[in-house]
Chain A
């Protein structure tokens, strides 16, 4: 009976890994597709990290804009990352998680700026935090906040 339970647990892990591999992959491909399409569409809304505005006349209105994205890794990626943590090295599976979260956050910020009629975003900054930190066995989830000053031309 105990052997059966242990076998069942191993089997469960294998099934979860296979399922998570495919669902995670599909979700990631779809997300990247959407990110690339929107990045192209919002290409004209320039985002820079410079702090000071170039002289403009008439002076533009400025407004704080922000975009935040929360993304979770799947079971497969977390499993691989935990294995990687034993031996050390680059955790490839988490790279796409952070890349997607950052790009999505910028896009949301740009979308807000576009609605305000802005042409540029100045002084863009990131805040990244793990919202599953300290919780054992929780699937790694990150929140990325992108914020900046939207430049809205007047007149």
Chain B
């Protein structure tokens, strides 16, 4: 009798499958899973950041940056500018609903940029380029009130909380670097986040305008910053792209919204322009 090895049967140890279909299904599943996880981290982080005790935010801000204190370049002139800006901020914040421990500190940045921003711990930064381009205090006050409103609404803390938790989660789960996470957040794919950001901006515009109306008794000139922005962009209606791609509402829309809010609340659109403090009028954008 002749003995032979049994022919190895096929299809038992190696099962039939469709690898390409598998790849698509699994990739879609993985992207969906990580996106859900990331969104959840962002939402929880934002929520946590917004409701973090103000004293914690202040402590964090103090740890992250010792603003101005050690900066040797702060000249006497800059101090005078900051004092003038601080006075405006103090008048505005007196008419705003600030958290108990929040103290607004204004800093001056000697750069030609038409911008201002708020960071952790109520630190508001105003650029020379912005001050040099506004004709009166009312326009400047609107922007500062907008930034103070961001601090008061805890938008910065919410933002930082969300981003930190997202970086932690995505870094742990998929080993994504913080830079990649930043790219994901501000990249063109994060449309939902841009909606959140626009909502926060709209709220800050509304609260800012309310503060301006209460402080000055009218809202004349409050939309002037946005008009300056429009002119600076060189066209009456600049191309900012579709709104859903922007972190801020479209400038034209913001002007219209401010006007609509003023009419709705019965705030007068005419009123005397408050001149800028002398130290601020001396600023030149071209310096």
A interface list, Cβ under 8 A from B: 2-3, 6, 17, 21, 39-40, 42-47, 76-77, 79-80, 83-84, 86-87, 90, 92-93, 95-96, 98-99, 103
Contact = CB atoms under 8 A, between A and B. Distances in A.
B5 A92 contact: no
14 contacts: A3-B183, A21-B20, A39-B8, A40-B7, A44-B2, A44-B4, A46-B4, A80-B19, A84-B26, A86-B33, A87-B29, A92-B15, A92-B22, A99-B13
A87 B26 contact: yes
Contacts of A99: 13-14
B12 to A, nearest CB: 9
B187 interface: yes
Contacts of B23: 17, 76, 79-80, 83
Interface residues of B, number: 23
Contacts of B5: 39, 42-47
B3 A46 contact: yes
Given A39-B7, A44-B4, A99-B13, 12 more contacts: A2-B183, A3-B187, A6-B180, A39-B5, A46-B5, A80-B19, A83-B23, A83-B29, A84-B26, A92-B19, A96-B14, A98-B13
Interface of B: 2-5, 7-8, 13-15, 17, 19-20, 22-23, 26-27, 29-30, 33, 179-180, 183, 187
A79 to B, nearest CB: 7
Nearest to B25: A83
Contacts of B180: 6
A126 B3 CA distance: 23
Given A39-B8, A46-B5, A21 B19 contact: yes
Contact of B26 (A3, A43, A83): A83
Contacts of B4: 43-44, 46
Given A21-B19, A44-B4, A46-B4, A95 B14 contact: yes
A83 B27 contact: yes
Contacts of A79: 23
A98 to B, nearest CB: 8
